[in-house]
Amino acid sequence: MSGRVDSSVAAFLLQEMGFDVVGLTMNLFSLPKELCQSEQLRSCCGERAVEDAHRVAIRLGIPHFLVSLRREFEASVIADFVREYDRGRTPNPCIRCNERVKFRILLGRARRLGADFIATGHHARVVKDCRSRCYLLKKGKDREKDQSYFLYRLGQAQLARILFPIGGHTKSEVRDIARRRGLPVAAKPESQEICFAPLGDYSKFLAQRTSGPFRTGPIKNREGRTLGEHKGIGHYTIGQRRGLGISAPRPLYVVGIDAAENAIIVGEERDLYQKGLLASEVHWVSGKTLDEPVVVRAKIRYKHQEARALVVPISSHRARVEFDRPQRAITPGQSIVFYHRDVVLGGGIISRALG
């Protein structure tokens, strides 16, 4: 229970289905008290979130526990986040948190408490396919709020123990249920920030933990000519236009980050489009290894429109992805997720773009 409307309604719906429900709130990271008490900060962190989750639990009449996973979160998510930026990559910590903390460590804790399932407020669905006897991870009903992209690293053993009670509801339906039930978080704003980087200020957070991505260095064009000086590669991502501080006849964008040379590579809009990519840490929800190429719909970032692509296996955990049409701003460190209609097939971490 994050203290927001989705997980609160999920708990209520489980009660309605006859489940014996216990609320768990993860303590992952501490922010300054004034930030966590702020109504404006859209982050699921700290004291305010715990208080709201507890108020909902009281309203529903269920036990509520705070589970400290700060050490695990630091080791599994934050350390990975910092390492990736040191390598000039742009990671997605929410995917790592779901994979390593929420649906591995927290699931284990819940099982030790005697729970048969762990449920969350994700907009996604789990369905068991009778023919294959395989659990399918599917998109949520509300396609604007669908969060299946963040869950692609889940496997069969986890999906067998996971419930997504609001996956068959739209966001407006979820809020209506919360209002009708009198839940105190019915109108609470959505969480839109990474919990350990308030207001999206990743650079400030990173600068407190590592100096590598914040050493100044050259901004170069694709031919290797120096055009200016950057403020540190941690301030930039592929596709970025603002903040370059250089003038040119045509708009320039970040088209590459060379961590080894501490250089930012810039080019024109057309240089952002690539025909394919290499993916590592490839994971298939079914648990089966891909033996031959398969056609999928692929997303290279959460808000990316799905694109038709061919996934060609290189090894059990590496693949080459070839798009029908070049895609804009393929970013190393981000996840590419593969779909067949509304079913999540799997995905991987983008290693590099292929021209």
Task: List C-alpha distances in Å: 215 to 154, 210, 218, 266.
Answer: 37, 10, 10, 18
CA distance 7 to 174: 10
Q: Which candidate in 94, 97, 130, 134 is catalytic?
A: 97
| Distance from chain centroid for Cα 255 | 23
Task: List C-alpha distances in Å: 132 to 135, 154, 162.
Answer: 9, 18, 19
CA distance 60 to 182: 10
Print the SS3 string covering 48-101: HHHHHHHHHHHHHCCCEEEEECHHHHHHHHHHHHHHHHHCCCCCCHHHHHHHHH
Please say if 45 is a catalytic residue: no
Please say if 97 is a catalytic residue: yes
Task: List C-alpha distances in Å: 72 to 47, 84, 161, 301.
Answer: 19, 18, 21, 26
CA distance 80 to 99: 13
Name the 3-class secondary structure at 222. Answer: coil
11, 25 contact by CB (below 8 A): no
Name the 3-class secondary structure at 296. Answer: strand
Q: Which candidate in 44, 45, 94, 195 is catalytic?
A: 195
As annotated, the active-site residues are: 97, 195
